[in-house]
Every structure is written in structure tokens, then in C-alpha cells.
Amino acid sequence: MSAKPTLVSVVHSEWIKFRSVRSSVTGVLLTLLLTIGLGALITSAVRSHWSQSSALRRATFDPVSTSLSGTLFAQFAVGVIGVLFITAEYSSGSIRTSLAAVPKRLHLVVAKAFIVALVVIVVAEVACFVTFVVGQTIFSGVVPTASLANGAVLRSVILAGVYLTLLSLVGMGLGLILRQSAASISVFTSLLLILPILTLLLPQSWQNALNRFEPSQLGQSMMSPTVTANTLSAWSALLILVLYTVVVVGVGAGMLERRDH
């Protein structure tokens, strides 16, 4: 009788799956390209139009979050990474093999979450630090700049990578819940794009109360070195997004445990 797989062996197996799947590799490359490439493009545009900026724009300008603007596009790439790491197995039917090989469903979820989080945190942090440095270099001499020597600035850049990592886990959780790539990606995209639009239909007082808790707004709070009106502090935003992630992944894990036998 063969020995039951340990959590370490399951993690190793999931790592082999991740690096051998084309969608995972493509998602990683897109995350780097979108974060760095679009960040550089946006900061270049800001520099070229800085002389026409209004006094209010200059007074409220944030060189940190502006240089990290590429993450607003990369967030969709990391979400797809998380989704497809689960749903690709359902679409191919290989999930049956995975579940047969790993009797403890929780071990499978933990292993997949660990691999997704590890890969994305490394890629996202590298991308965020590179795009920040590139952005400040582009701004230098024309637009106000920021330095990593400032604790709040360093925190913002680090949390930008954490934000992308948590979104990849949210994507994975949605994949566990819905089991279909198109449905999971649609829901993920809706959380980031459609939900803020729907909020605009509410009374202004409700908008002010709810906007700060939207995933995309939480990301903005995490990437900003300062706290503005109607926004949360970076650490409060991080805590709430962690709770969202735990709930989504937890629900997905519970559904996997109940229905996939």
C-alpha cells in the first residue's frame, strides 16, 4: 500500500504543475510587462504634460502611486493566474487525478495557495520595485519624486506587491467556487471594475461609506503613502483585503471538501 502524500510532496507536485502550464508562465510575464511597461508609459505621459498641470493637481500629486499605476492593469493578470491554476484542471479533467492522489483536500488547497502566493509575491515585488525606480527616474528634474528611504514610501511599494498577491489568491478562491474559467474571470473582473460603477448609482453618502471597502480602492489605499478623505489607512486596507481573501479561499476549500469526492 502506497504512503499517503505529505503536504511537502503535494507542494512540490503543484510547483511542477505551475511551471509546466503555459497559462501560468504567460501570466507571470504579463504581470511583469503590465506593471513595469505601463508604469513607465504612464509616468512618461505625466512628465510630458506636467507643465500644463493645474495648481491643485500639483498640490495633490502622489509620485508613488502614479509610478505604480501599472498594477491597475497587472491585477487582472494575477487574478487570471490564480483562476486558471484551479479551473484548468477542471476543464481538462485532471482534477480527478489530483483529488485521487491527495485524499486530504485541504492539503491540495494549501499547496496550490502556497505556490500561487509564493510565485506572485516574488514577481510582483520585483515588478513594483523596478517600476517605482523607473518612474522616479523618469520624473527626476521635472516632476516631484519620492525615495525608498522614506518609510511610508517603502511600505507603499511593498504593499503594492502584497495587493497583487492577495488578488491572485482571490482568483484562486473563485476558481474553487465556480470551477469554470470564464465564470471565475468574469466575477473577478466584475469585483474590480463593475462594482465601483454600480456604487456610483447609490446616494453620495453611501458611496463615501462603501467605496473605501471595494477591492480596487483597498489597493489604492495600500499603495498610497498618505491617507486622504474617505480612504482607509494602508494597514487597515491590508487587513480588510486579507479578510476578503481568507473568506473567498475558505469558501472554495469548503466547497471542494463537500462536493468533489
Domain boundaries, position 151:
7-259
Q: Which amino acid is at 8?
A: V
Q: Are 27 and 84 in contact (CB under 8 A)?
A: yes
Q: For residue 233, tell me if it sits in a domain.
A: yes
pLDDT given for residue 199 in this prediction: 83
Q: Are 45 and 66 in contact (CB under 8 A)?
A: no
Q: Are 103 and 1 in contact (CB under 8 A)?
A: no
Which is nearest to 61 in space by CA: 129, 5, 135, 133? Answer: 135
Tell me the CB-side half-sphere exposure of residue 175, using CA atoms within 13 A. 26
> What does the pLDDT profile of the chain (261 residues) look like in tens digits?
346 788 899 999 999 999 888 889 999 999 999 999 999 999 999 999 998 888 888 888 999 999 999 999 999 999 999 999 999 999 888 888 888 888 888 999 999 999 999 999 999 999 999 999 999 999 999 999 999 999 999 999 999 999 999 999 999 999 999 999 999 999 999 999 988 888 878 888 788 778 889 999 999 999 999 887 778 999 999 999 999 999 999 999 999 988 755
Q: For residue 229, tell me if it sits in a domain.
A: yes
Q: For residue 1, tell me if it sits in a domain.
A: no
224: which 3 cell numbers?
498610497
Instruction: Give the chain as a 3 state SS string.
Output: CCCCCCHHHHHHHHHHHHHHCHHHHHHHHHHHHHHHHHHHHHHHHHHHCHHHCCHHHHHCCCHHHHHCCCHHHHHHHHHHHHHHHHHHHHHHCCHHHHHHHCCCHHHHHHHHHHHHHHHHHHHHHHHHHHHHHHHHHHHCCCCCCCCCCCHHHHHHHHHHHHHHHHHHHHHHHHHHHHCCHHHHHHHHHHHHHHHHHHHCCCCHHHHHHHHHHCHHHHHHHHHCCCCCCCCCCHHHHHHHHHHHHHHHHHHHHHHHHHHCC
C-alpha to C-alpha distance for 12 and 115, rounded to whole angstroms:
9
Tell me the average pLDDT of the chain.
92
Q: For residue 151, tell me if it sits in a domain.
A: yes
Q: For residue 192, tell me if it sits in a domain.
A: yes
Number of domains in the chain: 1
C-alpha to C-alpha distance for 245 and 173, rounded to whole angstroms:
8
Q: For residue 2, tell me if it sits in a domain.
A: no
